[in-house]
Structure formats: C-alpha cells, structure tokens
Structure 1
C-alpha cells in the first residue's frame, strides 16, 4: 500500500501524520534504490548487447535500442541528481 493510499485511508480515522515518521522515508529510500538498480540493469544490458554486437552475435536493432535506452536512463539519472543537488543548495540557503 502506498503512502498516499495510507494517508487517504487514515484521514477518516483521525490518524496523525506524525504517528509513523519513518514509513515515508523508508518507502522513498526503497523507491530510489529500486530506480538505481533498474538503471544499473539497463546499463549492464546495453553493455552486454554492445559487446555481442561487436562480436557480431547480436541483432543491430537490439544493440541500437539497448544503447538508446541506456542513454535515456543516464540522462534521467543525471537530471535527478542535478535536481537533488539544487534542492540541497536551496535548503542550505534557508535561514534558520
């Protein structure tokens, strides 16, 4: 059950958001870990197919598709990293 669903169901029961502060953090951490693991798998698949393509053991269309998918994944990871750094800088500039 997702955090949003839990919050929506808990709203009618009078639950306080402070009841389980670590739950959302754990879910977010799992989400990030899962996304990074998936990105790693895509990179490995692309690398494997590229090597197979060099050895002439893979279809050229598969190699091109895998490399393009790896490029998009890398661009996404870099974009997310940049946003995280930007958010961190914004937080450090906040007055206390």
Structure 2
C-alpha cells in the first residue's frame, strides 16, 4: 500500500521538482528528513524575536543615559519594528488558518 503521510508526499514532490531541475534526489530527501521540525523552527523564531526586543530595550535605556549613538538607536528600533511586523503577520496567518479549519465541513 502507498505511503500517504505528509512527509512522504513532500519528499515525493521535492524529488519530482529536483529531478526536473537536474538535482540529486538523494541529497534533497535526506535534507528534508534531517532538517528541523516546524515546532523547532517556530521556537527559534520566537526566541530570536524576544532577543531582538530585549536588545532594543537595552539600547533605548542606554540612549536615555546618553551611552549610545543615534545610529545604534535607529538600527535597534528598526530591527524591533521589523520583528514585530513579522510576528504579527505570522499570528494573523495562524488565526486565519485556524478559522479556515473551523469552517471545514466534517
């Protein structure tokens, strides 16, 4: 019987695309198996977002005391803003996916 798991489907799709592009299918399928899981990637992204926010706060506090330059402040605030926009976009996509799943007929 054929394997119908999501991982098997993804690997088969990846093999088909890479075969048409001339890549070695063994390397691609092994990369897909050895890569981080979605939960690990999401965890790392969350940790990075928190670190970016903490860094921006620290630089803002240094700016109040006059220990940092304007360029550092602008860079930290821009990084924090971009990170926040990314987190909000991911949150919106997750909520939309949840709502789509709820609307599916059983």
Show structure 1 runs of 5+ residues with no match. 13-19
**Root-mean-square deviation (CA), in Å?**
2.8
Larger Rg: 2
1:84 equivalent to 2:94? Answer yes
**Aligned positions, number:** 82
Aligned to 1:61: 71
TM-score, normalising length: structure 2: 0.68
Q: Which runs of 5+ in 2 are unaligned?
A: 1-6, 16-25
TM-score, normalized by length of structure 1?
0.75
Cα distance in structure 2, aligned partners of 1:29 and 1:60: 37
Superposition misfits of 4+ residues, deviation over 6 angstroms: none
The DSSP-based 3-state class of the residue aligned with 2:37 is helix
Highest RCO, 1 vs 2 (Cα 8 Å, sep ≥ 6): 1
Give the drift of 1:59.
1.1
- Relative to structure 1, the CA distance from residue 49 to residue 10 in structure 2 (aligned partners, 3 Å threshold; closer, same or farther) is closer
